[in-house]
Amino acid sequence: MNKKMLSTGNDIVSLNAINKTRTNQPGFYSKILSDTEKALYKELLPAGIAFENFVWLLWSIKESAYKYLQRNTPGLVFSPTRFVVQRIEPPFGYATTNIESSETEGTGFGNRPVLKSVITFGSDTLYSKSFIYRELIVSVVNSNEDFENTSWGIKFISSSDPEYQSTAVRIFLVARLNKLLKLDGVTISKSPHGFPLILSHDEHIEIPVSLSHHDQWVAYSFQLA
C-alpha cells in the first residue's frame, strides 16, 4: 500500500449495547483476539479496564484499521484475527471516566487521555488512538503516529434506528466540515465499495472520512494532509 495515500478509519462501540456475559466467553473473544493479543490485557489491568471492554477496544482498533486500509484496497475483507494489535499503551495513571459531554469534537488528541496502539495487517503498520469512557469506546487509525491533522467527533443521538444513525452522523460531520473548512453545499455520498465520500456541490472533495455508529452513539473521523 502507498503510505502517502491519505486515509482514515474509525469505529465506535456503545458499551451499554454489548453482551458482557457473551463477550467474556472464550468462544466469543477467540474469534476476535489471538493468544498474543489476549496477553496484552495485562497492560490494561492497572487501569481497571474490564476484560469485556478490552475485547471491544481491540475490536474497535481492528475495525478502524480495516476501514483505513479498505478505502485504498476496496476488495479487502474484515477478518478480525488478521489485524494484529502489537502494542497497547494506556496513558499514565489512567482511570475510566464518564464521557464529559453528549457531543465532543477535536483535531488531534493533544493531552487528552487516549490509549495508543500499534496494529499490523500483513506488511502494513498502522497506529491508533482510542478513548474508553464508561459509555463507549471509540478508536481512530492513521498510518503514522502523528494525529495532528486528524479531526474526530463523538455524539449521543436520540434513537438507535439505523436510518436515523446514518442521517445523524452525516449532519454531525457536515456541520464540522462547514465550520472547519468553510465548505458549503456539502453532502456525504457512498463509494460503490461502501466507504463515505465528501461532495461539495456534487464535486468530490479529496478528504478521507470514516463514519461509525452503534446504538445511540455516532462518530466520525477525517484526515487532512
* Amino acid at the residue 3: K
Judged by CB under 8 A, which of 3, 5, 19, 187 binds another protein?
Answer: 19
Give the DSSP letter of residue 103. E
Instruction: Identify any residues that bridge with 13 across adjacent strands, giving them in sequence order.
Output: 137
Is residue 31 part of the contact set for another protein (CB under 8 A)? yes
Is residue 26 part of the contact set for another protein (CB under 8 A)? no
Is residue 37 part of the contact set for another protein (CB under 8 A)? no
Judged by CB under 8 A, which of 63, 83, 121, 127 binds another protein?
Answer: 63
Of 72-80, 94-102, 114-122, 148-156, which part binds another protein (CB under 8 A)? Answer: 72-80
- Distance, in Å, from the CA atom of 64 to the CA atom of 125, rounded to the nearest integer, reads 13
Distances (CA, A) of 197 to 9, 68, 137, 164, 211: 13, 13, 24, 19, 10
Is residue 77 part of the contact set for another protein (CB under 8 A)? yes
Count the residues of the shown chain that bind another protein, applying the rule CB under 8 A.
25
- Distance, in Å, from the CA atom of 64 to the CA atom of 219, rounded to the nearest integer, reads 12
Contacting another protein within 94-153 (CB under 8 A): none
Is residue 219 part of the contact set for another protein (CB under 8 A)? no
- Smallest distance, another protein to C-beta of residue 166, A: 9
Backbone angles phi, psi at 124, to 5 degrees: -85, 140
Is residue 213 part of the contact set for another protein (CB under 8 A)? yes
Residue indicated by cell numbers 471509540: 138
Distances (CA, A) of 149 to 42, 109, 219: 31, 10, 17
Judged by CB under 8 A, which of 16, 24, 36, 79 binds another protein?
Answer: 79
- Distance, in Å, from the CA atom of 187 to the CA atom of 195, rounded to the nearest integer, reads 14
Cβ nearer to another protein, comparing 212 with 223: 212
Which residues of the shown chain bind another protein in the complex (CB under 8 A)? 11, 13, 17-19, 22, 27-28, 31-32, 56, 59, 63, 77-82, 161-163, 194, 213-214
